[in-house]
């Protein structure tokens, strides 16, 4: 009995794949605006999610732009080549120390003076604050100031009308508010350091990606505009820091000559305040007021006159020239950019304003060409 070969079923014919139906041109025209709207909506949603950290990222970006040339120089050193994490850690540590050390010195000095201030306040509560003799030598307003002083400060402060509003609940509320603000500032500073470390660690890869994206999105002109805006921010930081340190040194010499105490601390505070436009007069004005209260009228007047001259020259000539040379902006645009930016955006506006003025100059140059 012979075995039959297995019968294979006939193969079913393969159906031809149906080609994808082409998208009508009308739909393509609608897809592009729809995609653009979707992208804009997603970007706005992302910005809304991180809205509380936008200031942190902005400050980190400003500091990173200012220190970017230093980062590139350190990366070019043979011993540091390829060690991006170490370079990022060193730069971040330097920024942290520049902020922490002055604050620490101020807190330490305040703690040293806390005992004397406490004894003075106890004596003022029991006996009041006597009228300074300098008040009687004022050219005008002696009677009004003396009457107010006698009614509010010359009597024991525990019974003074000026102290009745300072109830324990008010003091506690102010203390909580100050503590909350201080804690918020510490957290913002910590997140800024973390963000700054990440930016430094990314290094040239980050800048290359940004420039590549700018060229793809806006062409070579957009990339050049981005570079000029970064130069404007870098020049603004340099101008603010250099001028602030210069004012702090010059006014520190004036503090020493006039016999003020804690000259180093006062000079440091003045330098930090002078990094902000027209804030140095607050520090040397208070110092002059202290000299005036101690009877040193000539020293107070000399400090006010010298400080006013230094601030006027620095704010109206030195700082705009330093920033204008690096950004190639006219004097008035630098001045208006700094002041207008600070008024509009706060401290960040000090750097945003000159950058926007740079955009204005570039656009104007493109129009007139």
* pLDDT greater than 60 at residue 5: no
pTM for the model: 0.68
Same domain, 291 and 368: yes
Average pLDDT over the chain, rounded to an integer: 78
Number of domains in the chain: 2
Task: Let me know if residue 264 belongs to a domain.
Answer: yes
Write out the two tokens for 161: 């009308």
204-258 helix and 297-313 helix, angle to the nearest 10 degrees:
150
Distance CA 117, CA 100 (A): 24
259, 253 Cβ separation under 8 angstroms: no
Same domain, 38 and 181: yes
Same domain, 275 and 181: no
Q: What is the mean pLDDT of residues 190-207?
A: 85
Alpha-carbon dihedral angle through residues 19, 25, 26, 31, given to the nearest 10 degrees: 80
252, 267 Cβ separation under 8 angstroms: yes
Radius of gyration of the chain (CA): 32
Q: What residue numbers bound the domain in which 81 lies?
A: 30-127+165-202
Percent of the chain having pLDDT more than 70?
80
Helix/strand/coil percentages in the chain, nearest 5: 80, 0, 20
Same domain, 192 and 229: no
Task: Let me know if residue 88 belongs to a domain.
Answer: yes
Same domain, 242 and 302: yes
Q: Which of 176, 202, 228 is the last residue before a domain boundary?
A: 202
* pLDDT greater than 70 at residue 7: no
Listed range (15-29, 37-51, 129-143, 297-311) with the worst mean pLDDT: 15-29
Same domain, 235 and 192: no
* pLDDT greater than 70 at residue 182: yes
| Tens digits of residue pLDDT in 159-175 | 655 555 555 566 567 76
Quick one: pLDDT band at residue 67, thresholds 50, 70, 90? confident
Question: Please, which residues have CB within 8 angstroms of residue 141's CB and are 6 or more apart in sequence?
Answer: none
Q: What is the mean pLDDT of residues 331-348?
A: 80
From 256, 252, 251, 258, select the one nearest 294 (Cα to Cα).
Answer: 258
| Tens digits of residue pLDDT in 76-128 | 777 777 778 888 888 899 888 888 887 777 777 777 766 667 776 777 667 77
Query: Which of 160 and 46 is assigned the larger pLDDT?
Result: 46
* pLDDT greater than 70 at residue 138: no
């Amino acid at each position: 009995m012979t075995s039959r070969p297995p019968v294979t079923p006939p193969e079913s014919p393969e159906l031809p794949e149906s080609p994808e139906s082409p998208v009508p041109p009308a739909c393509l025209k609608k897809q592009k605006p729809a995609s653009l709207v979707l992208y804009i909506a997603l970007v706005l949603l992302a910005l809304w999610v991180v809205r509380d950290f936008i200031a942190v990222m902005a400050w980190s970006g400003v500091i990173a732009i200012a220190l970017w040339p230093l980062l590139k120089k350190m990366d070019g050193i043979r011993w540091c080549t390829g060690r991006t994490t170490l370079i990022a850690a060193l730069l971040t540590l330097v920024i942290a120390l520049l902020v922490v050390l002055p604050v620490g010195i101020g807190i330490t000095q305040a703690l040293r003076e806390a005992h004397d201030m406490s004894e003075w306040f106890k004596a003022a509560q029991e006996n009041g604050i006597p009228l300074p003799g300098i008040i009687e030598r004022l050219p005008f307003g002696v009677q009004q100031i003396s009457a107010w002083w006698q009614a509010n400060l010359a009597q024991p402060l525990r019974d003074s009308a000026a102290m009745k509003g300072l109830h324990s609940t008010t003091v506690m509320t102010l203390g909580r508010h100050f503590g909350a603000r201080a804690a918020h500032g510490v957290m913002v500073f910590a997140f800024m350091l973390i963000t700054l470390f990440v930016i430094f660690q990314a290094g040239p890869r980050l800048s290359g990606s940004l420039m590549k994206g700018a060229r793809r999105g806006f062409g070579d002109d957009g990339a050049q505009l981005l570079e000029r805006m970064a130069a404007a921010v870098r020049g603004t930081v340099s101008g603010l820091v250099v001028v602030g340190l210069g004012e702090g040194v010059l006014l520190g010499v004036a503090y020493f000559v006039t016999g003020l105490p804690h000259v180093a601390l006062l000079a440091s505070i003045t330098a930090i305040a002078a990094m902000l436009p027209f804030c140095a007069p607050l520090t040397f004005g208070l110092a002059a007021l202290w000299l005036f209260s101690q009877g040193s009228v000539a020293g107070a007047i000399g400090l006010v006159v010298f400080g006013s001259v230094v601030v006027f020259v620095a704010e109206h000539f030195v700082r705009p020239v330093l920033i204008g040379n690096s950004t190639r902006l006219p004097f008035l645009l630098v001045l208006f950019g700094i002041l207008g930016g600070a008024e509009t955006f706060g401290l960040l506006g000090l750097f945003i304003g000159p950058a926007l003025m740079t955009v204005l100059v570039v656009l104007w140059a493109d129009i007139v060409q």
